[in-house]
Amino acid sequence: MSLFSWAAPLALGYLGLKAWKKKVGDARIVMRPELVGQAQIYYYPGNQHALLTCRLPMKNAGRQQALIIDANAVLQPAGNRYSDLQPVCRLVNLDCPRADGYWEGYIISAGKESVLEIRLHVTSSEGIAKKLAEMAQVRFDIHYKYYCRTPMNYCRLELCLPVGTFEVLQEKQPEPAPPPGKPKAPIDPEATVVPLRTHLIRPGESILDIVQQYASPVAQPGDMVVLAETVVAIMQNRMVYCEDVRPSWLACQLNVLFGMHSSLSSPYAMEMAMREVGVARILLATVAGILGKVTRRDGDFYRLAGRGVAAIDDCTGTLPPFDKYVVMGPADGDRLVAEVKEKTGLECAIVDANDLGKVDIFHISDLSRSAEVVEALKPNPQGNAAEMTPLVLIRKRH
């Protein structure tokens, strides 16, 4: 076969991919300094502490959802004049506020707008009102980074606000409250599905120890313990911080073929998929997936790429502090579920369940109970986010 016979379809495929990429578009996050509002200042009793706040709109002006991995605000310039005031500056996402100041990985849909709040605490034993008047104005640097179809965008905005424009409050406004955590529900011995709340499970912890700590004390004969696949992968340290991944040119081309709600729409997740199963297999699966779409048959890509690729979670797929990591699928799962059964006497499964009622069993020690597991987990009682119930017991029906 001549070189030209190969080059022509490759060139046509590349041009088609480029045209599709242009049509699909990307995310574009813009801050709206011209719309800054609710600039307020509160002087705490004693005139030694003050809180300055203002609200800054943020919009996704692109055509794809954006994953905002991090954002922060700092008072600038950093010199003695400001250091003497012991400034503490925070940027709060009012859609998912956190009292600890952590920026939780956040998805903002195309065309949507969110509101951020800058909160500046300052202190002076010489009288904070006088010190702020001497400042005349406050300057903030807003740093934020996000991605969607293309790798990370690093952005900076300078915001300058005259102190005299801040409204002085007589009473301190309530801080944005974080969503309430779910209380630990008592275990119902009659329930057929029992979610087990755990501590924050971290890399390097023993899966067997976790099962023995949380499941064994409440298990009954015939119970099956079900583990969320993401938490198993975290314990196995099968994850990588997104900025430690350098997406290849190919990863930045192929990811455009996936819908924006798929993990593989991310160049970081796509790069990790290629590292997991090899470039050749991903290319073959991509061709199969395209042909499948033409013939109106779904799932051909993942059938060829393998379940390890289907199990990859992009950033924001799990709870902090792992919300900025690409998390792979579990490794050596068949051995793991067999070991849990041998050491604890409990049947075991590793699954991926979502809020849409889709349940995917990756590994199970008793295949005859597969249908039972799928039915039990359709309401998605597992939760490796704020629920912190990555283990579930399924009672055997008699």
Q: Which residues contact 154 (CB under 8 A, 6 or more apart)?
A: 143, 145
Tens digit of each residue's pLDDT (9 = 90 or more) over 169-204: 887 776 666 655 555 445 545 558 888 888 989 999
Distances (CA, A) of 99 to 44, 117, 174, 228, 239: 19, 13, 12, 28, 27
Average pLDDT (325-340) is: 93
253 and 21 Cβ atoms separated by less than 8 Å? yes
Average pLDDT over residues 104-124: 93
pLDDT over 50 (residue 380):
yes
Tell me the one-letter amino acid at 343: K
Q: Rounded mean pLDDT of 337-364?
A: 87
Report whether pLDDT(3) > 50: no
| Cα 391 to Cα 379: distance, rounded to the nearest angstrom | 14
388 pLDDT above the threshold of 80:
no
**Band of residue 155 on the pLDDT scale cut at 50, 70, 90:** very high
CB 145, CB 157: distance < 8 Å: no
In whole angstroms, what is the distance from residue 141 CA to residue 359 CA?
44
Confidence band for 156, pLDDT divided at 50, 70 and 90: very high
Sequence spans of domains, the chain? 29-169, 193-394
Output 292 or 314, whichever has higher pLDDT.
Answer: 314
Q: Per-residue pLDDT averaged across 201-211, rounded?
A: 93
Tell me the residue length of the chain. Answer: 398
Q: Which CATH architecture has domain 29-169?
A: Sandwich (2.60)
- Which segment of 51-60, 94-103, 225-234, 277-286 scores lowest on mean pLDDT? 94-103
Say if CB 203 and CB 113 are below 8 A apart.
no
**Burial of 254 (C-beta count, 10 Å sphere; 0-12/13-18/19+):** buried
Cβ atoms of residues 57 and 142 within 8 Å: no
- Residue 118 CA to chain centroid, in angstroms? 22
Percent of the chain with pLDDT over 90: 51
Q: Identify residue 116 by its one-letter amino acid code.
A: L
The pLDDT of 109-127, averaged and rounded, is 92
Q: What is the DSSP string of 28-70?
A: -EEE-GGG-EEEEEEEPTTSSEEEEEEEEEEEE-SSS-EEEEE
Greatest distance between any 2 Cα atoms in the chain: 86
Mean pLDDT of the chain: 86
- 246 pLDDT more than 90: yes
Which phi and psi angles does 345 have, rounded to 5°?
80, 0
Beta strands in the chain (DSSP E): 29-31, 37-43, 49-60, 66-76, 88-93, 106-108, 113-123, 137-147, 153-162, 167-169, 193-196, 224-228, 239-241, 325-327, 347-353, 359-364, 391-394
